[in-house]
């Protein structure tokens, strides 16, 4: 019992005082558990057309990052497809931005504020976007959907966004950690390739470190800014200084792709994970270039956003949970072909295989 309590304490400290874990949020708001379960049933079910007749098309703005991972494009496709099947009349303005280009971000955000959108789907960097989001929350319009974040912000308690939606970073990390503990029962030496400094790296990277016991030794770590080239250079340095690491833990798809470039000529490369299980990662696992990944049931988050909007338009907003966190599956190079295909079919049910 003491060991379990210690692990829970370590995990809770990973989420800074700015955020609430799903468990903490549900403990504060017990009604959310029932809402989350009922809403997930809607997401998993076949679509049912909207019951309310719309007077005009709703206006939606989407601001997504430019990344090699197909997660964002698939989210958009599944979202639009489900809206169509729900018979919702809508228009969408799309912005794909470089998250390292602050001027580009500010320009897109300013433009969205000037438009009379009903809903805005956005991913969050708290430090940069806090002022912008505070403006939206104070205006009540557009209704804000924050994607790829499932841990509500403490400062917005009492005035939270319409919906947090995505796949909980720490839950995915637990699956990866458990896999590696099984693969290396007596421990291992490893290196860490972080994403950018911030919440994702904290959850996926620091979360992983906290889950591993003392038989797993972290030899080195680098922030890569989520860039393939920087991940390649970081991996080259790791391999030069620590040639005997057993695995390299990656916090994102683009980071894994960069690491693979650095290892492509090695006869016995260290194990390397993916993060998210997009099409590129699955292809690399089938080719046995990538060892394993945690696979999001990707299209469920697009479906969840569409179903939340439908409930809102039907004046059933009280049925929308504060958080929707989708499911993960762990796959590796030995996963049975039929299971592999079944996961793909479910994960990409609207965005295509």
Q: Which one has a higher pLDDT value, 174 or 15?
A: 174
Residues facing residue 331 across a β-bridge: 293
> CA-CA distance, 107 to 70, in Å (whole number)?
24
**Residues 181/198, Cβ–Cβ less than 8 Å:** no
Share above pLDDT 90 across residues of the chain, in percent, rounded to a whole number: 71
pLDDT at 3 over 60: no
User: What domains, with CATH codes, occur in the chain?
Assistant: 2-167+299-326 (3.40.50.2300), 170-275 (3.40.50.2300)
What are the residues whose beta carbons fall under 8 Å from the beta carbon of 224, sequence distance 6 or more? Answer: 193, 194, 195, 196, 230, 231, 234, 255, 258
Using DSSP's 3-state secondary structure scheme, residue 272 falls into strand
Name, in order, each residue with C-beta under 8 angstroms of 258's C-beta and a sequence gap of 6 or more: 193, 224, 227, 228, 229, 230, 231, 232, 233, 234, 235
CA distance 189 to 246: 5
Closest CA to 22 of 177, 335, 114, 14: 14
Could you tell me the CA-to-CA distances from 213 to 6, 188, 208, 210, 313 in Å, in that order? Answer: 12, 10, 10, 8, 49
Q: Of 111-125, 192-206, 276-290, 335-349, which range is least confident?
A: 111-125
- What is the 8-class DSSP label of residue 276? B
pLDDT at residue 332 tops 90: yes
Alpha helix stretches (DSSP H) within 242-332 = 253-263, 279-286, 299-313
- 239-258 as b/e: b if 16+ CB within 10 A: beeeeebbbbbbbbbbbbbb
**pLDDT on residue 105:** 75
In the numeric block, the tokens 């693969």 are attached to 183
Cis peptide before 142 (omega within 30 of 0): yes
The pLDDT confidence band at residue 136, using thresholds 50, 70 and 90, is confident
Residue 314 in tokens: 């039907």
What pLDDT is attached to residue 139? 82
Beta-strand ranges (E) seen in the chain are: 58-65, 90-97, 119-123, 143-147, 163-166, 188-194, 216-223, 247-250, 271-272, 292-296, 323-325, 328-332
Specify the 3-state DSSP secondary structure of 264: coil
Q: How many Cα atoms are found within 13 Å in the side-chain-facing hemisphere of 101?
A: 12
- pLDDT at residue number 12: 46
201 alpha carbon, distance to own chain's centre: 11
How distant, in Å, are the alpha carbons of 152, 174, 181 from that of 206? 19, 12, 16
What tens digit of pLDDT does each residue of 66-122 get? 776 788 999 999 999 999 999 999 999 998 887 667 777 778 877 888 888 999 998
Q: How confident is the model at residue 179 (pLDDT cuts 50, 70, 90)?
A: very high
Distance of alpha carbon 193 from alpha carbon 205, whole angstroms: 8
């Amino acid at each position: 019992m003491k060991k379990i309590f210690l692990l829970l304490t370590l995990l809770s400290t990973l989420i800074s005082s700015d955020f609430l874990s799903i468990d903490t949020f549900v403990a504060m708001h017990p009604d959310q558990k029932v809402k989350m379960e009922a809403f997930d049933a809607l997401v998993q079910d076949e679509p049912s057309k909207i019951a309310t007749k719309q007077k005009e098309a709703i206006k939606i703005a989407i601001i997504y990052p430019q990344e090699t991972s197909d997660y964002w494009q698939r989210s958009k496709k599944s979202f639009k497809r489900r809206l169509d099947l729900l018979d919702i009349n809508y228009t969408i303005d799309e912005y794909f931005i470089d998250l390292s280009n602050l001027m580009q971000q500010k320009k897109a955000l300013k433009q969205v504020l000037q438009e009379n959108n009903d809903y805005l789907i956005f991913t969050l960097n708290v430090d940069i976007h806090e002022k912008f989001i505070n403006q939206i929350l104070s205006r009540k319009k557009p209704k804000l959907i924050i994607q790829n974040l499932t841990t509500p912000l403490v400062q917005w308690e009492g005035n939270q966004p319409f919906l947090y939606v995505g796949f909980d970073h720490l839950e995915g990390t637990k699956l990866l950690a458990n896999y590696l503990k099984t693969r290396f029962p007596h421990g291992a030496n490893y290196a860490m390739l972080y994403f950018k400094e911030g919440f994702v790296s904290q959850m996926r990277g620091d979360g992983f470190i906290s889950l591993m016991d003392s038989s797993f030794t972290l030899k080195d770590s680098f922030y890569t800014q989520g860039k393939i080239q920087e991940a390649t250079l970081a991996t080259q340095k790791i391999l030069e200084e620590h040639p005997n690491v057993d695995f390299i833990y990656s916090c994102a798809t683009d980071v894994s792709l960069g690491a693979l470039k650095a290892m492509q000529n090695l006869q016995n490369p260290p194990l390397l994970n993916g993060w998210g299980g997009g099409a590129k990662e699955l292809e690399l696992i089938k080719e046995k270039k990538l060892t394993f990944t945690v696979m999001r049931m990707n299209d469920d988050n697009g479906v969840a956003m569409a179903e939340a909007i439908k409930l809102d338009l039907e004046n059933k907003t009280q049925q929308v949970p504060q958080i929707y966190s989708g499911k993960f599956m762990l796959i590796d190079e030995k996963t049975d072909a039929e299971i592999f295909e079944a996961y793909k079919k479910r994960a990409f049910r609207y965005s295509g295989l």
